[in-house]
Amino acid sequence: MNNDLSNSKIRLFYNDLQINLNDTRSNSGRKHELLLVITLLVISILRSYGHLNMSKIHRNMVRNYDESMCVFAEGY
């Protein structure tokens, strides 16, 4: 399985979510945009290997956060 995600593929996925995702959550308690969380979740799952669990996915999300923010900023 090839886990190589290019910046352009990540940016396209993020932009598609911006257009098509409706966030119906209430504003109270909301810390992060839903599309950012979903994008980081997908990236973390795709870049993971072996047995997945929530703590491993969360660690990957935290690890990929800065890189992902740089990728999203390049497009704007």
pTM here? 0.66
H-run or E-run covering 70? helix 54-74
Question: For every one of its 76 residues, what pLDDT tens digit does the chain have, with 9 covering 90 and above?
Answer: 455 678 788 888 888 888 888 888 888 877 888 888 888 888 888 888 788 889 988 998 898 888 888 877 765 4
Give the whole-angstrom CA distance, residue 5 versus residue 8.
8
Q: Residues 6 or more apart from 5 whose CB is under 8 A from it?
A: 43, 46, 47
Any idea what DSSP says for residue 50?
S
In a domain, 52, yes or no: yes
In a domain, 66, yes or no: yes
In a domain, 55, yes or no: yes
In a domain, 13, yes or no: no
Q: Residues 6 or more apart from 38 whose CB is under 8 A from it?
A: 17, 21
pLDDT value for 21: 84
Range of the domain at 55: 34-76
pLDDT value for 4: 66
Both structure tokens of 68 = 């992902």
pLDDT value for 1: 46
Count of domains forming the chain: 1
